[in-house]
């Protein structure tokens, strides 16, 4: 290879000069002294080169580099963080103030809070220069362009060990951090087409989320639309360890796939005059539209520009054209946004693309003996690693040695994932308003399942390769590594290489092979299997098998979901009917836990119960209402100053086809023919009386789950005063399982409760290293004294207690850890149940338990917070499901859904010798002529007596005279 001409080096030299100028502007150097010295030195060097060597072009390069340094320094200085009076930095430490700003980017959810970047700031009516990073309650839907008002005191960025967080924020123009508990939306600054595209993006994300469970849905949304906020951090870490970070978000690889798919679809244009340029222009249009759709953030624009370099290479026919396009793209971005120079994502994207241009073809030829499916991912991965190695090890001090293997497994799946998500997202968005019906459910199952399968394979490949021994090794590179590495790589690219000729005997063999008659072998078995329709047929077969294998197992399950410092209890009846009690503090984490606990095709929660309106119980339920079909909701019906609770009530009242009930003692729910859940507390009198200890925890809905001899007492956060009330009323008897109240706090689980309930096993839902010391040592000691086995989510992860009619099995993180027989006995409350002796704890687990540190941001007692908007609650960017679903409809055909859930009120104003039963028709029963109503329990006349029940339906009171009886909820 000949050395490039000086003109070919112009763009790289200018790029290096601009980067050097930006770097110098960030150093503590007087620009007024530095820039004249640079100009003088550059002119002197250029003059010396021209005089000594007569190389005018080389001297021109020196002058160009000098000018580039000056431009970079000026641009870097102009984009620095504003300081002094009237700036965000100058307002730090000024006490609490009212701040108005515009949301500059998508809000980032963090448990029960939103992290926002606010621009165009004013404080006390005066403008503030710079940007603000704000934490606000997660109570209203926000989109970029919203004008917000908060009250907060500005603080400097907190220190983070091993990371200069202040400098990181300063490069983004952020000079301070604010934590506010009051946020008000003032309006929205409309941006026309951008708002329309943002709405389309959120509608597509909602459509995909409706069809695919977590954690796979978040990966699909991230890969297709660049929305990364919901991706499981543990999965993201596994992908990073396996060298697969480029898969998780929109990157040059994803844009290249869009470019390739667009090129394939537009290939017929080549047959027309000028077709090559027409095809390329249309491809650029498709890619540009996609970039705008996914938000046109800096990372997405960077990926599109880098992919554009490859397109230029194809048009120009050489790597030189691509290298020039790459240099031009990087140069434009640095001049437009100088802080990108310090962005690790920009560095890795630019260097990886350069590595592909420099080394991929050579490595691919070296591996020509390998199959293409293996050769190409390895060549691409090794090329990118060679170019990015110094930046990776300097930034993360880790290096992935399994990246080539991981990419061989994952790279073929990414196009399938993008194509499947591109189909599922609009299908889900279009079908959302139609509600539940057999055709809609069938389409949802098919499209959602065919999207879930490659996403599941993708996440499994990342998990497996990321957790291999030595998948990522820790390194501490010397500072001079980049100074030695990149010159060596440049020399390897530019070094002249001779192409040796073939020996005479090999030339003869080649000629003989060329003139020999050829046979056309038929396609191999692998080629036949990789045909699109064959793959689709195999995928449908796998989907059918997965659906059949994930059906109800005939057991009752009580599952404490690992959602951090909070409560989320999932009950699954033998028929598959589900009841979710509370939702934890972090909606994303709750959705991930539900997605792992339920079959991929299960998108319905039959009964949703909120025990009390504390943030660590209600926050996750808001997103559950949005992502799942909910058939019945139990509201604790106790006023509490928590905006998230208000949003929960509003969303529950709008949930299509759902009945909203106030949780009061006597209300019973039949999940199926053998499993019931009965509310024990509070009664109407309890709800009207002052709160015990003036604590909203003591408003918790307490339930008793019964399935044959198996009984589980589900207490929410009820404390000792509630326990004493239940004991005084003789409402408690022996139970198999106790969900320990208030996360194992010392204020719950009294000696009287344990002596009366005699539980065999206890579930404690709490977060690792939580700030409250849950579970309390006193509580654990009481449980140990009574011989109660304990499962804790902070230690054991998601904990599952199941009963199949013969034995109870306890599982921690999916692994059985204990089992004991529980013979069938009388189902009357208080009947004796055989109690095998158990140790105070389950004992040492025969498997490793993940103990990654996790913290719950919010205190258990919800701090006062408020939010408001000029109008009512803003609707989700996507329309909520239409109300075509009904709990019981006489016209509905018989279906294969799980048996219905029912509810019974047993409170009566007077005794009567006879009874009167009101029932709701079971779904699919043609002989049942019933009605369904949001506020009124349907009735079927029978015998004499009746009861009066009063329920609150999400903020409004409605009552119905409901005879004693069972009320099925179609499932």
- Residue 421: the pLDDT is 93
Q: Is the pLDDT of residue 697 over 80?
A: yes
The 3-state secondary structure of 745-777, one letter per residue: CCCCCCHHHHHHHCCCEEEECCCCCCCCCCCCH
| pLDDT tens readout for residues 383-412 | 888 888 888 888 887 888 888 888 888 888
Report yes or no: 858 and 620 within 8 Å, Cβ to Cβ: no
Report yes or no: 578 and 605 within 8 Å, Cβ to Cβ: yes
Q: Is the pLDDT of residue 306 over 60?
A: yes
Q: Is 445 helix (H, G, I), strand (E, B) or coil?
A: helix
| pLDDT tens readout for residues 76-116 | 878 878 888 888 888 888 888 899 999 988 888 887 788 99
How many Cβ atoms from other residues are within 10 Å of residue 640's Cβ? 15
904: which strand partners? 668
- Residue 627: the pLDDT is 92
Spatial CA neighbour of 783 closest among 739, 821, 836, 815:
739
What is the average per-residue pLDDT within 133-156? 89
- Among 232-236, 338-342, 565-569, top mean pLDDT goes to 565-569
- Residue 578: the pLDDT is 96
In this structure, of 198-212, 655-669, 850-864, the range with the lowest mean pLDDT score is: 850-864
The bridge status of strand 866-868 relative to strand 659-662 is: unpaired
HSE-CB of 33 using CA atoms within 13 angstroms = 3
Instruction: Tell me the CA distances in angstroms from 896 to 516, 576, 607, 893, 930, one per residue in order.
Output: 63, 12, 19, 10, 21
What is the average per-residue pLDDT within 590-605? 93
Task: Determine whether 275 is exposed, middle or buried from the number of CB atoms within 10 Å of its CB (0-12, 13-18, 19+).
Answer: middle
Distance between CA atoms of 284 and 289, rounded to whole angstroms?
9
Q: Is the pLDDT of residue 531 over 50?
A: yes
> What is the torsion angle, in degrees rounded to the nearest 10, for the CA atoms of residue 844, residue 847, residue 853 and residue 858?
-70
- Confidence band for 884, pLDDT divided at 50, 70 and 90: very low
**What letter would DSSP give residue 921?**
P
Of the chain, the percentage scoring pLDDT greater than 90 comes to: 33
What is the average per-residue pLDDT within 646-660? 91
- Residue 628: the pLDDT is 93
| pLDDT tens readout for residues 783-802 | 999 999 999 999 999 999 99
> What is the torsion angle, in degrees rounded to the nearest 10, for the CA atoms of residue 680, residue 684, residue 690 and residue 694?
30
667: which strand partners? 905
- Residue 640: the pLDDT is 92
Q: Is the pLDDT of residue 183 over 60?
A: yes
**What letter would DSSP give residue 163?**
B
Q: Is the pLDDT of residue 70 over 80?
A: yes
Phi, psi of 634 (to 5 degrees): -105, 120
What is the average per-residue pLDDT within 671-695? 93
- Confidence band for 62, pLDDT divided at 50, 70 and 90: confident
| pLDDT tens readout for residues 599-639 | 999 999 999 999 999 999 999 999 999 999 999 999 999 99
Q: Is the pLDDT of residue 841 over 90?
A: no
pTM score of the predicted model: 0.75
Q: What H or E segment, with its residue span, contains residue 398? A: strand 398-400
631: which strand partners? none
Number of residues written out for the chain: 971
Spatial CA neighbour of 66 closest among 103, 7, 30, 14:
14
Report yes or no: 620 and 584 within 8 Å, Cβ to Cβ: yes
| Residue found by looking up tokens 């969900």 in the block | 739
| pLDDT tens readout for residues 323-363 | 777 888 888 888 888 888 888 878 887 888 888 878 888 88
Q: Is the pLDDT of residue 912 over 50?
A: no
**What letter would DSSP give residue 266?**
T
3-state percent breakdown (helix, strand, coil) of the chain, nearest 5: 45, 20, 40
First CA to last CA across the chain, in angstroms? Answer: 71
């Amino acid at each position: 290879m000949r050395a490039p001409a000086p003109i070919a080096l112009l763009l790289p030299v200018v790029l290096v000069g601009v980067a050097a100028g930006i770097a110098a502007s960030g150093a503590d150097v007087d620009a007024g002294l530095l820039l004249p010295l640079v100009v003088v030195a550059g002119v002197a060097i250029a003059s010396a080169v021209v005089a000594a060597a007569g190389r005018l072009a080389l001297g021109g390069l020196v002058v160009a580099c000098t000018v580039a340094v000056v431009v970079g320094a000026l641009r870097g200085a102009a984009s620095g963080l504003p300081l002094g009076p009237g700036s965000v930095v100058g307002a730090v430490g000024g006490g609490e103030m009212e701040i108005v700003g515009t949301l500059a980017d998508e809000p980032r959810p963090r448990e029960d809070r939103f992290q926002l970047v606010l621009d165009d700031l004013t404080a006390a009516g005066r403008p503030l220069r710079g940007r603000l990073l704000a934490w606000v309650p997660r109570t209203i839907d926000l989109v970029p362009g919203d004008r917000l008002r908060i009250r907060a005191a500005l603080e400097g960025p907190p220190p983070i060990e091993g990371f200069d967080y202040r400098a990181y924020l300063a490069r983004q123009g952020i000079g301070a951090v604010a934590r506010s508990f009051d946020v008000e939306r003032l309006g929205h600054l409309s941006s026309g087409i951008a708002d329309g595209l943002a709405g389309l993006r959120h509608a597509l994300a909602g459509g995909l989320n409706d069809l695919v469970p977590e954690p796979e849905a978040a990966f699909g949304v991230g890969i297709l639309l660049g929305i990364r906020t919901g991706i499981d951090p543990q999965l993201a870490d596994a992908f990073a360890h396996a060298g697969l970070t480029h898969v998780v978000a929109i990157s040059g690889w994803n844009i290249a796939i869009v470019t390739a798919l667009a090129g394939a679809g537009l290939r017929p244009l080549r047959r027309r005059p000028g077709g090559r340029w027409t095809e390329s222009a249309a491809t650029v249009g498709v890619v540009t539209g996609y970039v705008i759709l996914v938000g046109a953030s800096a990372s997405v624009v960077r990926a599109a520009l880098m992919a554009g370099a490859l397109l230029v290479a194809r048009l120009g026919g050489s790597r030189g054209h691509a290298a020039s396009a790459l240099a031009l793209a990087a140069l434009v971005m640095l001049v437009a946004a100088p802080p990108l120079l310090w962005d690790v994502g920009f560095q890795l994207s630019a260097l990886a693309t350069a590595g592909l241009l420099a080394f991929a073809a050579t490595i691919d030829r070296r591996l020509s003996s390998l199959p293409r499916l293996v050769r190409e991912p390895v060549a691409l991965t090794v090329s990118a690693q060679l170019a990015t190695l110094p930046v990776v090890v300097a930034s993360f001090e880790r290096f992935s040695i399994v990246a080539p293997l991981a990419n061989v497994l994952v790279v073929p799946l990414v196009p399938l994932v993008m194509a499947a998500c591109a189909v599922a997202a609009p299908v889900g968005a279009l079908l959302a308003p139609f509600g539940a019906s057999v055709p809609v459910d069938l389409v949802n199952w098919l499209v959602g399942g065919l999207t879930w399968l490659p996403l599941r394979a993708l996440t499994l490949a990342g998990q497996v390769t990321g957790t291999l021994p030595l998948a990522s090794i820790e390194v501490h590179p010397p500072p001079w590594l980049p100074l030695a590495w990149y010159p060596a790589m440049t020399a390897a690219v530019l070094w002249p290489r001779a192409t040796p000729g073939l020996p005479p005997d090999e030339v003869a063999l080649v000629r003989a092979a060329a003139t020999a008659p050829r046979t056309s072998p038929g396609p191999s078995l692998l080629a036949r299997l990789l045909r699109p329709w064959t793959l689709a047929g195999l995928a449908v077969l796998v989907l059918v098998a997965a659906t059949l294998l994930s059906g109800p197992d005939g057991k009752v399950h009580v599952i404490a979901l690992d959602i951090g410092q909070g409560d989320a209890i999932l009950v699954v009846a033998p028929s598959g009917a589900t009841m979710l009690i509370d939702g934890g503090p972090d909606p994303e984490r709750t959705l991930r836990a539900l997605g792992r606990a339920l079959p991929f095709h299960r998108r319905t929660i039959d009964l949703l119960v909120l025990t009390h309106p504390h943030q660590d119980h209600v926050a996750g339920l808001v997103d559950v209402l949005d992502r799942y079909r909910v058939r019945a909701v139990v509201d604790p019906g106790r006023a509490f100053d928590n905006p998230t609770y208000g949003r929960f009530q509003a969303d529950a009242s709008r949930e299509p086809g759902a009945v909203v009930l106030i949780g009061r003692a006597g209300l019973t729910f039949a999940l199926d023919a053998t499993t019931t859940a009965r509310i024990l507390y509070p009664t109407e009198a309890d709800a009207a009386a002052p709160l015990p200890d003036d604590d909203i925890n003591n408003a918790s809905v307490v339930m008793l789950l019964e399935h044959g001899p198996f009984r589980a007492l589900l207490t929410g956060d009820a404390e000792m005063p509630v326990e004493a009330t239940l004991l005084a009323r003789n409402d408690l008897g022996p139970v198999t399982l106790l969900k320990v109240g208030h996360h194992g706090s010392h204020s719950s689980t009294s000696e009287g409760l344990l002596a009366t309930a005699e539980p065999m096993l206890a579930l404690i839902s709490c977060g690792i290293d939580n700030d409250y010391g849950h579970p309390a040592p006193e509580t654990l000691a009481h449980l140990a004294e009574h011989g109660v086995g304990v499962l804790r989510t902070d230690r054991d992860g998601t904990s599952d207690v199941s009963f199949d009619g013969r034995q109870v099995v306890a599982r921690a993180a999916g692994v059985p850890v204990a089992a004991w027989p529980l013979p069938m006995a009388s189902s009357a409350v208080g009947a004796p149940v055989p109690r095998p002796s158990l140790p105070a704890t389950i004992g040492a687990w025969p498997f490793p338990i993940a103990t990654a540190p996790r913290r719950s941001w919010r205190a258990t007692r919800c701090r006062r917070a408020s939010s408001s908007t000029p109008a009512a609650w803003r609707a989700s960017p996507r329309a909520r499901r239409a109300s075509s679903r009904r709990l019981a409809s006489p016209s509905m055909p018989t279906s294969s859904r799980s048996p219905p859930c029912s509810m019974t009120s047993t409170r009566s104003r007077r005794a009567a010798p006879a009874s009167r039963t009101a029932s709701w028709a079971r779904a699919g029963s043609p002989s049942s002529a019933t009605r369904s109503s949001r506020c009124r329990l349907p009735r079927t006349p029978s015998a004499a007596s009746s009861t009066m029940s009063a329920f609150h339906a999400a903020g409004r009171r409605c009552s119905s005279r409901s005879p004693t009886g069972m009320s099925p909820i179609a499932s």
